[in-house]
Amino acid sequence: MGNDVSSKLSGPFRGFAEWPQSRANAVLQEFKDKDYDFCVDATTVQALLGGASQCDATLAEKIVDAFTNGSGGQGYLNVLSLICGLIIVADGIPSEKQIAVKAAVCFNAFDFNETGDIELDEMTILLLSAVRALMVFFNIGEDPTDEDMEQITLNAFSENHKDAAQGITRDEFVGYVGKHLEESPAMANVLKRFKVIGTEAEYHEGRKPSKAQALPSADATTARAEGDQETRPEDIIGEVELPVEAESGRTYVHEPGATPPGFPRRPEAYVSKYLSEEVFVKLMDKRTKTGCTLDTCIQFSLDSPEAQVGVLAGDAECYAALPELFESALGYHHRFTRVEPAVFQHLDADYNFTSFENLGIDNPSAFVKSVSMQVSRNVQGFSLMPRASLREKRILERVVWNALEFGGKFTRGVNEAFPLDAWAKSHGMEGRGIYRAEGLEVMVNHHDHMCMKVIESGAAVKTAFKSYLSKLRSIEDTLMLHGHSFAYNEAFGYVVSSPELDLGFKVSFELQLQHIFSIYASEALSEMCFKRLGLLVSPVSAGDSRTFTSIVRRGLSEVEVIESAIKSAYELMRLEAALQESDGDAAVFESQVTKLPATFRAKRIDGKEEPSVAPVADPDLSKSFADVSGCPPIAPGSTCALHKVLTPEVFAEAVAAEADGYFVEEAINPGVVDPTLPVGVVAKDARSYEVFQGLFDRVIETVHKCPADGQQQTVDRGFRLRRLEGLSGNVVSCSVRISRNIEGFTFPSAITRGQRRNVETIASQALMELYGEYQGVYTSLGDLEGDPKLELSSATLASGAARDWPDARGVHRNFTDTLEVDVNVDDHLAFCVTRDGADIERAIIQCLEVDKLVGEALGNVGRAYAKSDRLGFVTSNPADLGSGVTPSLKVLLPVFGDVGFAKCVALCTQMGLSCDQAGDSLVVVSNAKSYARSVEEVTQDLIDGAIHLVDADRQEAEAIAKAEAEASRKAEEEARRKAEEEARRKAEEAIAKAEAEARRKAEAEASRKAEEEARRKAEEAARLKAEEEARLKAEAEAEASRQAEEAARLKAEEEARVKAEEEARVKAEEEARVKA
């Protein structure tokens, strides 16, 4: 089908017409998965088109040369243009249905945000890229203009009733292309339709059409429908001979009024505000030693058009290689440029800053909650964060952490500490962390290698500055002691990813300004502070406060930045005080705001700095990162094969062997992440075993107990196994697993989504050709709800093969459930035949037969298994190298399958086997050594080992039974002895109890008698006491009676005496009277 087209294609592109459409689509998916730059060189083109096996270096250079007008293959081409060309010419002349497919795939290539629609600019670039590709592929005409393609895009939007602010959907785009290209379009007709060529004469001559030519109008379409004749596309492709242009060295010349190819066409992107076409043209072909280009630096702005600055440096050399870009960015961002070299100011920590009190704020603490000072730094010799590898991040994490000697705590991977932008999110939280001490926060590998923030409560500016200087100098001194320094550029200052250069310093005040906050909406306040005070405003935080941060940094020392921020904060406090005095009168506030200068900036302060210190020399960016690498630590007690062979010398050898796209870090990651894995290394493809041969050979020798250069045995399908009868009755089931990978594809540990889907398509189609007892159904894992296949093993997770799980993975099961074929799990294909009983020989024959049938099916479509003369069938895991055949037996081992499993593991290790518990006293035994050995040898060793395990388990069971019998006898004897002892004890207890009872009764009787005697004595004593008391009472009463009688007698006598005396006196007186 593709021959008619391939004969018209120019030299390096002729083979692409023979490509199936799926292969061209896979290239697009590969581009998306690996996130290539839009501008790529010949090496990247070779990798993208399938590596050396599919596209050699010479062909890749010719392709680049064709796109770059004679650069000798050393230039850079627009990769999306190349991909569009591949999609269009693949499969030759397309049918009507294929037109829709090709248009849809091209659309997907430019749907960068995967929203299902593309904007006007994106469609214009799509058309430019596609037409440019056709011009190059067929070596005709001149490049179309932006105006031509934009007019076509406007027509498409108009036909679909869309304005420029809306997007056009894929269906609308496909419909538009189909409508205007008709069915079976020749390439010439494609170009003619899109105004790249006009008449056939112009097509022959390679001339560009006039701008007056336009797409067919609706009237023209109607006229054709009514019968007007027009040259058919197939007629053109059959008649027209494509001219061959001289391959002269043409270079791009920027014509006035023309837009250079690749120039960003997103006016809303920040970079579009200052990047001119002249600067773009001047820098478009430049690149740093580490591969950073203009496209790399501005891509962030195109991906995130709302972001400030809009340009990022991938390494320190970017500032020197692309000075016009960064000067423009700095000038626009900082609002002024500076021509003198940057100087780091080592300032006096006792500098007396302008105080708020001197400015007229009596109580600044009423407004200022805290002051903070923040500085960003990068360590010299490492890539900056937009391009830093995971290994670099991990080493930087250690380098910076070791320099932080402030008694704080370092926490790795704290999500809340990292509100990362999209460009900084690579590798997730790996190699990142935050260090916290009193009044100090240091974020490591955030947007830069280090971001130090010193915080003081209240308005203590001087205290904060002292702390800032002492801590920064301490970190720098410690880094220098360990041979590191901060990255510095004499023209731009301290190098950071985003153009906030010189000192990379900013100061912030957390202010409470309730009246201002109540009057000003957030956006209005931000605009006012930005334009008039040079401050950025944070959202509202706890306590109704906001943080105001300085934005004018370039050309100022730390002191000048702080002074500027102090004066800006003062202005805000003054406005707040005015509002308080006027009871929140907005008119008063607005009148005060208008008095602020249009742009606020403190004057330069002279004579306050110490002499500058010369910066350390720029790093040698030509050296690889391996120069500063370190061997990962080995977990104590690890049995992982990787840890047995990985020494600093072996690691350094592997790092030195790294090639493009091959990093030892990826190979050893499983063992570093999970030291319990038996092997711990993984190959990304067959070439990994050659690139890192020193490491992999040592692992192979450790795992397989033989040299890594052993002669590989062929897969023998005619053999007889011995001693199978010895397994009868002990083996519940047997299975055979064969691991295979398809040549030309990366292995699952590193495969891209697009490649994985291609592998699934190829594998599933091959499996559909199985017949007889092997015929079955292929099911995607995503459709298997609750199936054990969905569970990920720790090895799969650690190897990286679980990315996008379970996308493009599946399993083929035959109708008797004796065959399972896993696709894209640990390897591209894994065949597994399972049979009941011990007929392992039959299981091997069946599995090898399936392996052969699938291999033949792959061969029919030009594919084959990945294989090496030295290593045999190449697999992700070195343990499966060689034949790739792993037989296993599920053996009933009552002892080893339960309490004796540790001994089972030890025995298996001695015999070169591996084992896993399967529950219910079952053990799955497999052969761990298959490298350089035949299937018969591997399986026979398994059988012999299983028989040995059965015998050992039986002996262990007998020993256990004997031990249990002896233990039973001893237990019975002990029980008898204990019974006698118990009886004796009970008798003694009974006697003791009786004696105790008797003693108790005697004691009770004695106690009763004592109590009775005591009672009697008490009664006698009471009687005697009563008698004595009665006697004494009677005597007392008698004495009282006697005394009463005596008293009466004496009274009577006294009365008689007195009476006699009275009578005598009376008588005497009478006698005297008588006498008288």
Grade residue 150 by pLDDT with cuts at 50, 70 and 90. Answer: low
Structure tokens at 496: 């950071």
Structure tokens at 939: 């399986």
Q: Are 562 and 467 in contact (CB under 8 A)?
A: no
Q: What is the mean pLDDT of residues 643-662?
A: 83
Neighbours of 403 (CB within 10 A): 21
Q: Is 250 annotated as a binding residue?
A: no
Q: Is 851 annotated as a binding residue?
A: no
Q: Is 917 annotated as a binding residue?
A: yes
Q: Indicate whether 951 belongs to any domain.
A: no
Q: Are residues 293 and 436 in the same domain?
A: no
Q: Show Cβ contacts of residue 39 under 8 Å, excluding neighbours closer than 6 positions.
A: 76, 77, 78, 79, 262, 284, 293, 295
Residue from 47, 228, 10 nearest 662 by CA: 47
We report the CATH number of the domain holding residue 654 as 1.10.135.10
Q: Are 67 and 61 in contact (CB under 8 A)?
A: no
Give pLDDT tens digits for 480-506: 888 888 888 777 778 888 876 556 788
Q: Indicate whether 487 belongs to any domain.
A: yes
Q: Is 918 annotated as a binding residue?
A: yes
Task: Report the C-alpha gap between 597 and 528 in whole angstroms.
Answer: 11
Task: Report the C-alpha gap between 781 and 811 in whole angstroms.
Answer: 7
pLDDT of residue 506: 86
User: Hey, what amino acid is at 10?
Assistant: S
Q: Are 950 and 889 in contact (CB under 8 A)?
A: no
Which of 846, 872, 887 is at the close of a domain?
887
Q: Which residue has the higher pLDDT, 56 or 987?
A: 987
Q: Are residues 586 and 634 in the same domain?
A: no
pLDDT of residue 153: 76
Return the bridge partners of 913, or none: 927
**CA separation (Å) from 621 to 290, 382, 502, 582, 973?**
7, 8, 21, 61, 83
Q: Are residues 481 and 587 in the same domain?
A: yes
Give pLDDT tens digits for 865-889: 999 888 889 999 998 888 889 999 9
Provide the percentage of residues in the chain whose pLDDT is more than 70.
76
Q: Which residue has the higher pLDDT, 800 or 191?
A: 800
Structure tokens at 670: 């499983």
Q: Indicate whether 358 belongs to any domain.
A: no
Q: Are residues 572 and 642 in the same domain?
A: no
Q: Which residue has the higher pLDDT, 661 or 985?
A: 985
Q: Are 763 and 827 in contact (CB under 8 A)?
A: no
Structure tokens at 402: 């070791």
Q: Are 541 and 508 in contact (CB under 8 A)?
A: no
Q: Is 640 annotated as a binding residue?
A: no
- In the predicted structure, residue 126 carries a pLDDT above the cut 90: no
pLDDT of residue 860: 92
Q: Are 515 and 584 in contact (CB under 8 A)?
A: yes
Which of 536, 571, 593 is at the close of a domain?
593
| Helix axes 693-704 and 664-673, enclosed angle (nearest 10) | 40
- In the predicted structure, residue 636 carries a pLDDT above the cut 80: no
Q: Are residues 386 and 535 in the same domain?
A: yes
Q: Is 916 annotated as a binding residue?
A: yes
Task: Report the C-alpha gap between 455 and 442 in whole angstroms.
Answer: 11
Q: Average pLDDT of the chain?
A: 77
- In the predicted structure, residue 706 carries a pLDDT above the cut 90: no
Structure tokens at 322: 């692309």
Instruction: Tell me which DSSP letter residue 288 carries.
Output: -
Return the bridge partners of 737, or none: 832, 886
Q: Whose structure tokens read 């009596």?
A: 362
Return the bridge partners of 77, or none: 40
Q: Indicate whether 184 belongs to any domain.
A: yes
3-state secondary structure of 603: coil
Give 596-599 contacts, CB < 8 A, sequence gap 24+.
596/532, 596/533, 596/571, 597/532, 598/531, 598/532, 599/335, 599/531, 599/532, 599/534
Q: Is 673 left (phi over 0), alpha (psi -120 to 50) or beta?
A: alpha
Return the bridge partners of 927, or none: 913
Residue from 819, 801, 822 nearest 811 by CA: 822
Q: Is 889 annotated as a binding residue?
A: yes
Task: Report the C-alpha gap between 382 and 591 in whole angstroms.
Answer: 52
Neighbours of 66 (CB within 10 A): 22
Instruction: Tell me which DSSP letter residue 270 carries.
Output: G
* Domain count within the chain: 6
Task: Report the C-alpha gap between 429 and 412 in whole angstroms.
Answer: 8
**CA separation (Å) from 74 to 13, 58, 79, 251, 305?**
18, 11, 15, 12, 31
Task: Report the C-alpha gap between 180 and 189 in whole angstroms.
Answer: 10
Give pLDDT tens digits for 389-413: 777 888 888 889 888 988 888 887 7
Structure tokens at 765: 């189609």
Q: Is 737 annotated as a binding residue?
A: yes
pLDDT of residue 619: 30
pLDDT of residue 97: 61
pLDDT of residue 201: 38
Q: Is 229 annotated as a binding residue?
A: no
Q: Is 886 annotated as a binding residue?
A: yes
Q: Is 552 annotated as a binding residue?
A: no
- In the predicted structure, residue 243 carries a pLDDT above the cut 50: no
Q: Is 433 annotated as a binding residue?
A: no
Q: Is 630 annotated as a binding residue?
A: no
Task: Report the C-alpha gap between 867 and 874 in whole angstroms.
Answer: 5
Structure tokens at 852: 């052969």
Return the bridge partners of 545, or none: 541
Q: Are residues 541 and 652 in the same domain?
A: no
Q: Is 213 annotated as a binding residue?
A: no
Backbone angles phi, psi at 174, to 5 degrees: -60, -45
Give pLDDT tens digits for 181-193: 653 344 445 554 4
Provide the percentage of residues in the chain whose pLDDT is more than 90.
24
Q: Are residues 659 and 773 in the same domain?
A: no
- In the predicted structure, residue 992 carries a pLDDT above the cut 70: yes
We report the CATH number of the domain holding residue 786 as 3.30.590.10
User: Poorest-confidence range of 32-46, 245-259, 384-398?
Assistant: 245-259
Q: Are residues 742 and 651 in the same domain?
A: no
| Helix axes 120-138 and 79-89, enclosed angle (nearest 10) | 70
Q: Indicate whether 961 belongs to any domain.
A: no
Residue from 892, 898, 896 nearest 733 by CA: 892
Q: Which residue has the higher pLDDT, 1016 or 712?
A: 1016
pLDDT of residue 456: 94
Residue-range definition of the domain harbouring residue 1057: 1042-1076
User: Hey, what amino acid is at 681?
Assistant: V
Q: Indicate whether 706 belongs to any domain.
A: no
- In the predicted structure, residue 266 carries a pLDDT above the cut 90: no
Q: Indicate whether 93 belongs to any domain.
A: yes
Task: Report the C-alpha gap between 733 and 923 in whole angstroms.
Answer: 11
3-state secondary structure of 738: strand
pLDDT of residue 898: 85
Q: Are residues 454 and 576 in the same domain?
A: yes
In terms of average pLDDT, the best of 78-82, 253-257, 816-820 is 816-820
**Alpha carbon 812 to its chain's center:** 32
Task: Report the C-alpha gap between 18 and 16 in whole angstroms.
Answer: 5
Q: Is 736 annotated as a binding residue?
A: yes
Residue from 458, 570, 448 nearest 510 by CA: 458
Q: Is 887 annotated as a binding residue?
A: yes
Q: What is the mean pLDDT of residues 198-212?
A: 37
User: Poorest-confidence range of 28-42, 55-69, 830-844, 1002-1016?
Assistant: 28-42
User: Hey, what amino acid is at 977?
Assistant: R
Which of 699, 719, 748 is at the close of a domain?
699
Task: Report the C-alpha gap between 928 and 942 in whole angstroms.
Answer: 9
Q: Where are the beta strands (DSSP E) in 512-633?
A: 535-537, 546-550
Residue from 495, 459, 573, 476 nearest 326 by CA: 495
Helix locations, 313-369, DSSP H: 318-321, 323-334
CA geometry: angle 662, 664, 670, nearest 5 deg: 115
**CA separation (Å) from 892 to 41, 133, 260, 312, 919?**
60, 66, 74, 63, 10
3-state secondary structure of 606: coil
Burial of 1025 (0-12, 13-18, 19+ CB in 10 A): exposed
Residue from 97, 4, 17, 16 nearest 54 by CA: 16
Q: Whose structure tokens read 């550029």?
A: 489
pLDDT of residue 270: 66
Q: Are residues 64 and 208 in the same domain?
A: yes
Instruction: Tell me which DSSP letter residue 926 carries.
Output: E
Q: Are residues 557 and 657 in the same domain?
A: no
Grade residue 845 by pLDDT with cuts at 50, 70 and 90. Answer: very high
Q: Are residues 586 and 637 in the same domain?
A: no
| Helix axes 586-593 and 558-581, enclosed angle (nearest 10) | 150
Grade residue 608 by pLDDT with cuts at 50, 70 and 90. Answer: very low
Structure tokens at 149: 């393609």
Task: Report the C-alpha gap between 394 and 430 in whole angstroms.
Answer: 8
DSSP 381-445: TS--TTT--HHHHHHHHHHHHHT--SS-EEEES-GGG----GGG-TTTTTT-EEEEETTEEEEES
Q: Indicate whether 728 belongs to any domain.
A: no
pLDDT of residue 827: 95
Q: Where are the beta strands (DSSP E) in 837-912?
A: 867-868, 872-873, 885-892
Instruction: Tell me which DSSP letter residue 958 carries.
Output: H
